[in-house]
Amino acid sequence: MKVEKSQFRFKFTGHGHYLVDYVTPNGKIRYSRTITDMEIIDKTKSEDYPKQGDLKELRRQVKLNY
């Protein structure tokens, strides 16, 4: 299933930290995690058309240990 940038919300929480929310495609489940990997943030948040691989990696990091 394709991951869309619109499924993510980014909130700056400090130098090198973003609180990232991911909502499942059906909108029923929301995951949140503070992400410190600025490389993946730059590849997804700052891009108009991020790569699927980058979106899937960000989703993996947000859902890690849920």
pLDDT of 3-61, one tens digit each?
999 999 999 999 999 999 999 999 999 999 999 999 999 999 999 999 999 999 999 99
Q: What is the pLDDT of residue 48?
A: 94
Q: Which domain holds residue 40?
A: 5-63
Residue 63 has pLDDT above 90, yes or no: yes
Which CB contacts under 8 angstroms, 24+ apart, belong to 52-59?
52/2, 52/3, 55/3, 55/4, 55/5, 55/8, 56/3, 58/8, 58/20, 58/22, 59/3, 59/7, 59/8, 59/22
